[in-house]
Structures are given as structure tokens and as C-alpha cells.
Amino acid sequence: MCGIVGFNSKKTDILNNMLKSIKHRGPDDNGVFENDEFSLGHVRLSILDLSSYGHQPMSFKNLVMVYNGEIYNFKEVRSELESFGYSFESQTDSEVILKAYHKWGIKAVDKFIGMFAIAIYDKEKREIVLIRDRVGVKPLYYYFDGKDFIFASELKPIMEYKKDLQINKDALYEFFQFGYISSNLSIFENCHKVPPGTYLTFKIQNSKFKIKEYWSIIPYFKKPKFTKSEEELVDELEKLLIDAFKYRMVSDVSVGVFLSGGIDSSIVTAILQKHYGNIHTFTIGFKEAKYNEANWAKKVASYLGTNHTEKYLSSDEAKEILKNFVNIYDEPFGDSSGIPTTLVSQVAKDNGVKVVLSADGGDEIFCGYERYWYSYNIGKKIFILPKIFRKLLAFSMNTVGVNNASKFIKMKNFEHKYNQLSEMFKNNTWGKIYEQIIHNFKSSEIKILLGDEQNITEHSFYIGEKEHPMQGMMLWDYHRYLPDAILTKTDRATMSVSIEGREPLLDHRIAEFMAQVPFKYKYKDGTSKYLLRKVLQRYLPNDLIDRPKMGFGIPMFEWFSKDLRNLFDIYFDEDEIKRQGILNAKYIKKEHDKLKNNRPININKLWFILVFEMWYKKYVK
């Protein structure tokens, strides 16, 4: 795993500063390429071929490349290139990528199994091509204002180059709705993410660029569904999983697995322990019982016979990680599980592991989030009511108001639920129902906080909905929540301690296969991840499989209402927030007072505001 940067000019000092800002991504080596029209930089975390032959930028004929990621099937692609007369100096996947692009151009990406952010400068064509992997495991940002074109693995290098960046209000709106910034937006104007499964071509001579998709999961959903038996589907899925997982063990350094004891991490661990052996597993636990999965992870590890390490996270350790949170996540990021993910990454590194496998993607591909069936059950009840009656209910709730209603109804987090239900009654589609449920701030609340509102739509929802509303929800998450929250969290957490995170369940062949599996094998008779559970039953007893899903969260309310409470006092200074002129200081004070007076509160709202204020203080003020 590495870090890459580049821009359309020659500025040696700035290039070096950009590389320093992401040194954590590649502490083993660094390199630069410069000419009068383009500069490239690379920091290297040595995983394959630890020798100097893996140094980047790497050149071949008219091409110069910097690259971040892993191509797991590079040996097969290399053999094919050798049949065409190509020779190789190293044992790296980097050299294979470069020569594959020389042979096939952008079509080379169709041959790759892996995760990658690739930048290739063609000196003859005078163009730079940026390529991001199919799902978006590896980050890739770019900035363009009509003159300066800049790209980087993180935002920090772009901030080193451009000192006058302005906050993007649309991105800020998305952050407060979801806790992350989705789509191709970033927190700054003129700065975007290269979308997953696409490539960007920038023509240096006329400063024009275009973005084109090379892969999407959608065409596979449009194909006819498999008519195979359940047993045949289980057999085929197991073969796919074994092949995908073994590919992720390709490394010249030690490899470990993050194990929570849930379905996804257990199947990764079980398959690798059986077919590879000597697996080292890592778990984070909490003293607060309702958040603690460490005991389950320990049972799974013991049954499988892995070399297991666990670490319990205290509020004091969380506070230390929080001090560095906005260094790790250099745009506002509200997924609090980034805290334990950072700690478990450090534990893995302390135990000599340089590559870790994380089981991200299982919920989105196999139907695992509780909110899917919760949203479906809520939606069914709402859509029973005639449309005119739903509108009347929404109007009545707005007229009565949450304050008056709370005098008669006593319920935990009542204000949030009341506003949520009121907005759901206004909606006429499954997509909007789902968005209302996954929002943290409701639209009306964000309008008060920011003085603005925005309509967000994920078009893939409606393709999935044709089969089942829950399939639409899964596709929504696959295109937004997965790349921009889950994968961002794992990439930054692992890279912050200079180890590589790999995502075995996100092999695109698994996603393509599951897109053609009928929905009834994803959620069957109230059982989530039905097909995946059937595979896991071949490796683990049912008593280690059938348990309530907990998720990789932290005891936020317990910590922020006690040990970490003073952080809100530090960052919620009313005068300072007014001077910023971005957020509504009175609204923040009202929400903060609820916590101070031990009144019901959605702690995520305060957490998101805290994250933004911490980020603003470091990067803007």
C-alpha cells in the first residue's frame, strides 16, 4: 500500500511537501518524477518484492506510473504479457500494471483482480490517466479549477498545494445527513473523488478532462437470475470465496485478519485457516457489555485454532485516538467506529503484521444490515395508508409540533423519531423512506443548522427495487455508504499506522455472482445473509453463527455523556461558532444543553458537529 500525488506543473518544493503529508501511507521509500508539464510523487509501503526494483515512479518507454494498491492476480497477467514478448526486471505487480497498460491501454484494467488507484502519464500523448478500482477500496482525489490539475491519495497533499480552498456546501450537507461525504464530492470546492469503477483522462495541452465508467455492478443485476438449486449456489459461492480469499494472502510480509466474531469476519477467518493455515486474528473489545463482541470472537478463534490477540478499548485510549482523529480523516468523517478500527490496526502492527484482511462489504452484498428489514417493515405499514391520508398525517404532525407532542408521549430520543416519521409520511417511494431512516439529522434540522437543504437521490436504488425494496437499499449502500464510509474508515485507519488493509469479500467476481442470485437466498424466512450462512455452516457450528448482530460500534453515549463530555465544552464555544459563520450556534447550544441537562439526545448529532469543529479548527481556521 502506498500514497500517490501529481500535478500539471513543476514545483519541487511543493511536491516534496505533498509527499511528506502522506508519509504514513508509505514509510519504506519515496520517489518523484518531474518535467516541465507534469510532476508525479510516490511513497511506498513495501508488500511485494521488497527490493529497490519496486521503486516508483516507474517508467516504461513513453509511460510513467505511480500506483497505490494490489493486483492479486499479477502473476497470471504477467505470464500473458510474457507470451507477447514482454520481459520483467522485478517481482512486483507495479511493473505488470505498467506493461499491461502499454499493451492493452485502459482495457488492461479488465484483467485485474484487486484494489488500486493508478496514475499513468503518457509523455507522447501528453495526457494523464487516473484509474480507480471497481468498488472504491483505494482513495483517489483530484482538484481542477480550470488551470491547476492535482491528484492525490488523500486531501492533505492537495491542501499543501492549494492554500485557499473553500468549503463545499453540498458536501457539508451530505456530511451532516450521513456522517460522510458521498458520491464524487469532497469537503472542498473544485475537489472531487474519482468514482469507483471509472477512469479520468486529463489532456495536458488543452486542460480538458473526461471521466468514463469501465465497470459497474448494475449490468449484472439486469441479467437473468440464476435458476440453480440452493445447494448448487452454496457450492459455487464457496469456491468463489476460497479463490478470492487466497488471492488476498499474496504477500512477501506477514498477514492477519480483523475478527469480530460476526458472520463476515468469521467466514474470512474460517476459510483461510482451513485452506491456508496459521492465521493471526485481532479483536477489539469494550467493557460495556452491549457493545462487546470480543467474547464471540475469542470463541470463534478458539474453535478455528487461530493465533488470537484481543485488546479492550477504554475511554482514555479513545480520547488519545480522538486527538489524532482529524489527522487520520482529513475531511469531516462521522463514523465513530474509526476509533476502534484505528486501535485494532495499531495492535496488528505491534504484533508484527503488515497486511490485514477486513471483512467489509458482506452486509451490502449478502443483505446483512438490520436497517434493511426494519426499513422494509416500516415502509410496508406506511404505504398501506392512502397517499392523501399520509399527507394529512404529516401536516397534522407539523401543526402540533414536536414540543407539544412530547408533553403527552414519553419516549427515548422522541424528537428525532417524531421528525423522522413526519418526513416519512411525506415520501412516496421506497428510496426516500430508506434515506429518511439512515439520515442522522433530518432535512428540517439541517436546514436550521446550515440554513440550506438539498435533495439526494441514488439512482441504483430503483434498479434493485424492481426485485425487492431491500435489494434497492443494498445497492444504495453499495454505491455510497460502502465506498465513502466503510472503505474510507478502513483505508485511513490502517494507513495511519502504515499497514495495508485488504477487502476479500469485495472481489468483484463475488459481487457479480451475488447480483444474479435471487433475493430469496439473501434474506430468507427472516434470516439475513442466508446463502453466506450456509457456506459458514460448513466451517463453524450453529451456536457460533446464530447470534444477534452488533456491528463494530463504540459506547458513544456512555463515553460522551461522561468521560469525554468536556470535548463538547472545548469545541462548542458559541462565540467561535458564530465567527465561523457556517453553523447555527443557537441550534448547537440547544442540542448541547440537552446533554448537559441529562435530557434525551441523539448523541450522533453532537458527534458530527464535534468532528466538523475539530476538522475546521485544524484545516481551515
**606: nearest Cα among 564, 551, 550, 552:** 564
- For cell 435530557, the residue is 599
Whether 63 contacts 98, CB under 8 Å: yes
CA atoms within 13 A on the CB side of 269: 30
Helices 263-275, 294-304: inter-axial angle, 10-degree rounding: 20
Residues ≥6 apart with Cβ < 8 Å to 10 = 34, 35, 36, 37, 39
What CA–CA distance (Å, rounded) separates 87 from 103? 12
Around Cβ 377, how many Cβ atoms within 10 Å? Answer: 10
How far is the C-alpha of 410 from the C-alpha of 607, rounded, in Å? Answer: 24
Question: Among residues 1, 2, 318, 588, which one is catalytic?
Answer: 2
DSSP H or E stretch at residue 574: helix 574-580
216 backbone dihedrals φ, ψ, rounded to 5°: -150, 150
Beta carbons of 113 and 507 less than 8 angstroms apart:
yes
Instruction: Tell me the three cell numbers of residue 145.
Output: 479549477
Please tell me whether the peptide bond between 57 and the residue prior to it is cis, using omega within 30 degrees of 0: yes
Q: How many CA atoms lie within 13 A of 614 on its CB side?
A: 23
> What DSSP line would sit under 465-533, residue for residue?
HTT-HHHHHHHHHHHTHIIIIIHHHHHHHHHHTT-EEE-GGG-HHHHHHHHTS-GGGTSBTTBTTHHHH
CA atoms of 177 and 612, how far apart (whole Å): 13
Instruction: For residue 439, give the C-alpha cell.
Output: 439520515
Classified as helix, coil or strand, 74 is helix
Per the document, the length of the chain is 621
Cell numbers representing residue 581 in the block: 459563520
Is the CB of residue 293 less than 8 Å from the CB of residue 261? yes
Catalytic, 2? Answer yes
Is 605 in contact with 440 (CB distance < 8 Å)? yes
Q: Which residues pair with 69 in a beta bridge?
A: 116
- How far apart, in whole angstroms, are the C-alpha atoms of residue 281 and residue 344? 10
- Which residues participate in catalysis according to the annotation? 2
